[in-house]
Structure formats: C-alpha cells, structure tokens
Amino acid sequence: MSDILLAGYEPFGEFERNPARQLAIRLDGDRIGDATVIGREFPVVFDRLRPELEAAVDEHDPEIVCGLGLAAGRNALSLERVGINLRDTGGIPDNDDREPVDQPAVHDGPNAYFTTLPVRSMKEAMLEAGVPTTLSTDAGTHACNNFLYLTRHLAETSDRAFRAGFVHVPFSHEQAAARDDGEPSLALEAMRDGLLAGLEEAVGTP
C-alpha cells in the first residue's frame, strides 16, 4: 500500500477560484492501483509551505508528492521538469503580501532539482487519455516553482523516500467563462482524467 500526496494550491491574487485546489480535493480518496490519493490544499505563501509540506509528508509517508498550480493562459496540463533555487514573484505577491525578489528558496541549496516523476511517459499516458498535455522546462519563479524545489530538497536531504513533481493546470471552463476574456481553458473533468492517467503511469513506473 502507498499514498500519493496531491497538493493543490489555494486561490490567490485576482483568482477567486483555483482549479488546482479543486482537483486535489476532488481526487482525495481515489485509488490508483494500490495507491490512495491524499488530496490537500496548500497555501500560496512562501514561508508557510515548507513546514506544512514536511508535516504532510510525516503524516502520510507518501510514495509520490505531486503539486498542482494554476498557470493562466495555458491550454493544456503542463508537466514541469525542473525546479530552480529562486524566489521572484514578478510583482505578484503571495497570500501574505510578500514579494521576494531574487531570493533563494534554500540558502546554500543546489541551483536546481529535476523532477523524479517519469514525466515523458506520464505525458504519453495523459495524451492517450485524450487530455492535452505538454512538458515544460521549468515552473517559473513563483509559488509553483517554490513547491517543486522544496519538495525535491526535502526528499534529497531527509530520510523520507518519495518521488516528487509538479503539474501546472489551466483555467477551468467555468473559471474562464466567469472572466469573459476568451482565455484558454480545459474542462475540470478532463484535467481530472489526465491527472489520473499520469499518476497511474507514475505509480507503475519505478
């Protein structure tokens, strides 16, 4: 038996809803092979993420930790490959109104970490499920990158053995319709199907 910690970011900034949170909560309790999804909401706050992440990993001892975050303007699920040791909000504050500029996520940490999820085969599985999916080189420098970097750093510097990755999600159709700007979006159910297919591939790939 094993667990998948699926961490969806809360709403932030101008976004009153976040499909990342909706997906994590919706998938909570789902079974993928022998694994159970533990879906949890996480704060879009730089300084709160690390202790809350460590507490969740200690509680659930997951085999996989996968973060979810909103990437407005994208039209597909995006599997992130690299987290970098940099915090820079680009003028968009976190939910504690902090705006770090050119700060490291971890002092004296390595410059970057690669995801340890099999993102290329996950992409193929997600495409076969009929869900638009791409590979993305890095997760930016805001909270989503912070999650990927800190998760990988925790795995590398502690006795907790788990694989980690991050998936950016687009607007849901409902969210895009409410904004009325003609922005790219995906149906929430399609995103759910894609995540299930990708995570099933990850569970089955050592």
Tens of pLDDT, residues 81-138: 999 999 999 889 999 999 999 999 999 999 999 999 999 999 999 999 999 999 999 8
**pLDDT value at residue 190:** 97
Closest CA to 151 of 140, 138, 164: 164
Domain ranges of the chain: 2-204
- Residue with token string 């659930």: 60
pLDDT surpasses 60 at 1: no
Question: What is the structure's pLDDT at 7?
Answer: 97
| Average pLDDT value for the chain | 94
Cite the beta strand spans of the chain per DSSP E: 2-9, 31-32, 35-42, 64-70, 77-84, 112-114, 133-138, 163-169, 171-172, 185-186
- Residue 80 among the catalytic residues: yes
User: Which listed residue (80, 174, 200, 201) is catalytic?
Assistant: 80
Q: Which two tokens stand for residue 102?
A: 């050119």
| pLDDT tens digits, one per residue of 35-70 | 999 999 999 999 999 999 999 999 999 999 999 999
Please say whether the dihedral angle defined by the alpha carbons of residues 99, 84, 192 and 21, taken in this order, is positive or negative: negative
Class for domain 2-204, per CATH? Answer: alpha beta
pLDDT for 205 equals 79
pLDDT surpassing 60 at residue 73: yes
Backbone angles phi, psi at 22, to 5 degrees: -60, -40
Q: What is the pTM of this model?
A: 0.95
Average pLDDT over residues 155-168: 95
Q: What are the CA-CA distances from residue 28 to residues 23, 37, 54 (Å)?
A: 8, 5, 19
